[in-house]
Structure 1
Amino acid sequence: MVLSRDVIVLEDESWNWNEMKSSLKKAKVKGIIDYPTSVEEIEYVAHINSSQHTVMQRPQRHKQAPRAWIKKIDSYSIKEKFNKCAAEHGVYVKGDFVKELIIICLYVDDLLVTRSNPRFIDEFKKIMEAKFEMTDLGNLSYFLGIEFIHTTNGLMLHQKKYAGELLKRFNMLECNAAKSPMEANLKLVKDEAEEDADEIEYMQIIGSLRFLCNNRPDLAFSVGVINMFMNQPKKTHMMVAKRVLRYIKGTMDCGVLFPSRRKKIAEEITGYSNSDYGGDPVERKSTFGYIFMLNDALISWCSKKQPVVALSSCEAEYIAGRFATCQGVWIKELMEELKMPLEKPIQLKIDNVSIINLAKNPVSHGRVNIFRLSFTS
């Protein structure tokens, strides 16, 4: 089970940045499909002509539409001198901070555009409207089920509307709010003698909560725990899932805030990783988590069960630090491609003394060979 989210948002009043949203109409793919790409995407039609049988190929164009659209927008962005990010293929960058910078985030047929100069936005929209059929949706306010609110303190991401619909769907609108998503040190197991819960309803709750985790890192761990009992859940598991809904009832206004900055400061990223030890009583595996902060803004978080059984708390923290390090390297590469190189190395903070000593003392590196063997095998 993996619950993670990576967000890069720059809200800086000294640059007067703003985000615009545009949507391309479905007619965008008309006439741009030039050839079939696989046997599965070809409809074979047989025609009988006297004694000769001829097989004609007719591509089913609607199945090729996404691939054709990506190919089209890639060629167009290269023509307009945009650079496609290797770390995140849906992001295109043009220019730099020294001159003028424009960043495009593409998700299927929706475009998010931000820039360092309003004039560049207007010019870009005119070019795109001349090339494709588009609908200008104005300033960013709603995207992929996430609401965006511009406040005096910065840009706020939340899903209050979706949370209300979620509670209404499962008859929890009038429930009493809980102060935490899960009881501390709760260990869930599957008791075969216990009464079964409604499996369909349980799966619907988990699926809905997973989507809510897009901007609620406080739910990631608890949703990951109850997600492990999707097959034949028991009444106890349903009670824990309902507690998460009760917690949402009292925190519907919560979300992720990207603070605005009055003046330009150096970009600095700090990561934090942690892990329990043998938190899963069924498989004896540990669960780790990490978060990354860009100055005061939360940009990346994850909660995941480890792929191997850790033999000590030191090993569990080592695995957590390794995953966090990989994420930090990816963030560094993305920041460089966004023309925002970091002036300082990324700091990764771990609260385990043994791991810190292993990292600082080269003599101790030989002691972690068993970690490497068990973790990479």
Structure 2
Amino acid sequence: MARLDTIQTLIALVAQKGLKLFQLDVKSAFLNGVLDEEVYFEQPEGFDLKNASHKVYKLRKALYGLKQAPRAWYSEIDAYLSMCKFKRSITEATLYTRSNSEGDLIIVSIYVDDIVYTGSGERMQTEFKREMMQRYEMSDLGLLHHFLGMGILQTDQGVFIHQSKYAKSLLMKFRLEDCKPVSIPLPTGEKLKKVDMSELADEGLHRKIIGSLLYLTATRPDLMYAASLLSRFMNSPTKTHMGVAKRVLRYVQGTLSYGIEYAGSEDDSRSSSSYAFSFGSRAFSWASVKQNTVALSTAEAEYVSASKATAQAIWLRFVLNTLLKCKLRQHCCSMTICQQFRWPRIHFFHQRTRHINRRYHFIREALQERVINMQFCRSEEQLADIFTKALPKDRFKHLRLKLGVKPISSLGKAVEN
């Protein structure tokens, strides 16, 4: 299945290039897969053969419910796309491209029975749709409007993705549809502890809220830090944790129509690793995760965070090379860096870095081979701050806007099919 990062990268590319995304839906997709194994099943009631009730059927193709069905379907469509001269990405198995002598390019992404495609030539897109419909029974859904629970609004100005419908259902599910909105998800400097003096809360309810918030971060990077922070207290949450979780839902109440437009923890002293990648002027890949180890210095925390961002940058580089059909030379990473730590010196062991787990040291090779390039970024200009701490209202809103998180009304009229 296509990764969410891949779909968001594709959306960002489409917005920048002024293209449009289209969708095909394969009917009963798994029934197209040819089985490699011998599989037998009993005669279904009403279709049994007379005088042969002791016999069984041998399957030639997959059925829904078979564990082999998804793999068989993928093998089938992969073979067909290869026959149609598509080239599969070496880093994303469900991403395909095909170009012609005129320089036109078509890009295809597969997610189970959904096929999302875009291209620079209308003739190539029409030809691709014809090829698919000749092979499989499918529905032409036209412009991509919904995908993986996200609403996708394509306009002449760009692309807007949101989960407004899901956000509304979330508030109704937790009986907060009439709650009073707040302007920021967390109070400035909010710190949570695993153990406090308040009573235990409903653990099941707490888990449901956090899971729902994490799902919302697919189009709401402004919720990333709050959801990540609360997810650290899944076991034995207290009413304090529950109160903070409900406060985040109150923030969602005040930002229901928001989406993204494209054109550390006190208990164990672990830092947060966060990153945000932009394509053009808007973020399309982001994350905020708690580090697995206790950093002994600011330098170490930055080093670990940089290594995680580098790994994601390298993967995104491969994907973009496939989509753009060209070799990207470098990724440029802007980071806040403490005064005692300077990137040109990381090729040498130092008392501040010599104890760091060696799995993080691959960043040295990435810099040496010029895969990435580090640039100093002042703290007040650091976009990823929104993923690492609870910020004052004005700064939070400023960074939210920089990420491209806006109300749906900010975009122009949607393009019709």
Which range, TM-score by smaller chain? 0.7 to 0.9
Which residue does the alignment assign to 1:347? Answer: 332
1:148–1:155 Cα contact (<8 Å) kept? yes
SS in 1 for 2:273: strand
Amino acid of the residue matched to residue 191 of structure 1? V
Q: 1:77 to 1:31 in 2, by over 3 A?
A: closer
Amino acid of the residue matched to residue 330 of structure 2? P
CA distance in 2, matches of 1:309, 1:27: 47
% same residue: 33
2:150–2:162 Cα contact (<8 Å) kept? yes
Aligned residues: 337
Which residue does the alignment assign to 2:387? Answer: none
Give per-residue Cα distances to partners, 1:66-113, cap 9 Å, x unaligned: 010011111111111111112212211111796111111111110101
CA distance in 2, matches of 1:95, 1:330: 22
- Equivalent positions of 1:166-205 (< 5 A) are 166-191=170-195, 193-205=197-209
- Gaps of at least 5 residues in structure 2 are 43-55, 362-417
CA distance in 1, matches of 2:268, 2:349: 28
Which residue does the alignment assign to 1:81? Answer: 85
Which residue does the alignment assign to 2:212? Answer: 208
2:228–2:288 Cα contact (<8 Å) kept? yes
Which residue does the alignment assign to 1:316? Answer: 301
- How far did 1:31 drift? 6.3
Give per-residue Cα distances to partners, 1:199-223, cap 9 Å, x unaligned: 2211111111111111111111110
Which residue does the alignment assign to 1:20? Answer: 22
Query: Normalized per residue, which structure has more strand?
Result: 1
Amino acid of the residue matched to residue 182 of structure 2? A
Amino acid of the residue matched to residue 88 of structure 2? K
- How far did 1:191 drift? 2.8
1:308–1:375 Cα contact (<8 Å) kept? no
Q: 1:16 to 1:299 in 2, by over 3 A?
A: closer
Which residue does the alignment assign to 2:73? Answer: 69
- How far did 1:153 drift? 2.5
1:82–1:93 Cα contact (<8 Å) kept? yes
- Gaps of at least 5 residues in structure 1 are 45-55, 260-278
2:20–2:154 Cα contact (<8 Å) kept? no
CA distance in 1, matches of 2:291, 2:339: 19
CA distance in 2, matches of 1:125, 1:241: 45
2:303–2:360 Cα contact (<8 Å) kept? no
Which residue does the alignment assign to 1:272? Answer: none
1:258 aligns with 2:243: no
Which residue does the alignment assign to 1:289? Answer: 274
2:30–2:69 Cα contact (<8 Å) kept? no
Normalising to structure 2: TM-score of the pair?
Answer: 0.75
Tell which deviates more after alignment, 310-319 or 328-337: 328-337
Which residue does the alignment assign to 1:118? Answer: 122
- Equivalent positions of 1:207-226 (< 5 A) are 207-226=211-230
